[in-house]
Amino acid sequence: MRVGSRQIAYSEFGEGVPLVMLHGGGPGASGMSNYSRNVDVLARDFRVIVPDMPGYGASSKGLSREDTFGDLADGIRGLLDGLGIDRAHFCGNSLGGACALRMALDTPGRVDRMVLMGPGGIDTTRSLPTPGLRALLGYYKGSGPTREKLRAFLTRYLVRDGSEITDEIVDDRFRASIDPDVVANPPLRGPAGLRAAIRMDFTRDRRLKDCRHATLVLWGRDDLVNRPSGAHSLARRMRNADVHTFANTGHWVQWERADEFNAITAAFLTAGAH
């Protein structure tokens, strides 16, 4: 779909209340690769919309370096406009979680309930970047993108049990990560990406304490990309945030604990329906 000067690709499943599922920002990420274990189940109850966010997958490349979260939110809001959707539930992992939260702060009327899995932009000013975030931001630096660097990121930092990452997953994401348009302008990269994350730290945003959206914060206790302490940081600041942490789980909660994720997400999103 054309959104301003961009093309945003998306997949759609099911019927009912719209649920927009936003993927993370790791190398080669895309909507369906993030949510392959979730869409069929959630589409039983919702109209599930899974975009490739701007900068990723089959969508137009290039993101604002100054306000990455805001640029993503603008793109997804434009997609909703094009689909004729005024208000939707949002489910966001990592960078997608940051996009959903930014939408709730900027245009609260467009967002119903939120499920945020290890969202980015939480407490990024308090300490040095995590090993996983360093690996993500450094993927295009030095020797540039390689299959070995991508496998290391996926197996060491994205999930707790790297043996579940298949060669097919690595190959698909590696092909996406070396798209010439992405290599020329990676959406998240190096010190500039870290500086942007620090500038956009949500815990410095005074609007967060006034955010009244019912929110479910999900975090793997072994997340090496975004620190699990962020879950409780959000709970302290958001009036209506519930927190569920998953033992023996890394950054990819919706993939590593798919059955539980699908059940708790469906229950939470339907709880507000009357």
Between CA 37 and CA 191 the distance in angstroms is 33
Task: Please calculate the CA angle 142-158-173 and round it to the nearest 5 degrees.
Answer: 65
Token pair for 85: 């959707």
- Give the C-alpha separation, 210 to 105, whole Å: 9
CA 223 to each of CA 51, 66, 105, 174, 271: distance values in angstroms, whole numbers, following the listed order:
24, 26, 25, 22, 28
- 232: annotated active-site residue: no
| Displacement of CA 194 from its chain's centroid (Å) | 16
Query: What does residue 30 show for φ and ψ, rounded to 5 degrees?
Result: -155, 170
Of the listed 23, 89, 213, 251, which one is catalytic?
Answer: 251
DSSP letter (8 states) at residue 247:
T
List active site positions.
251
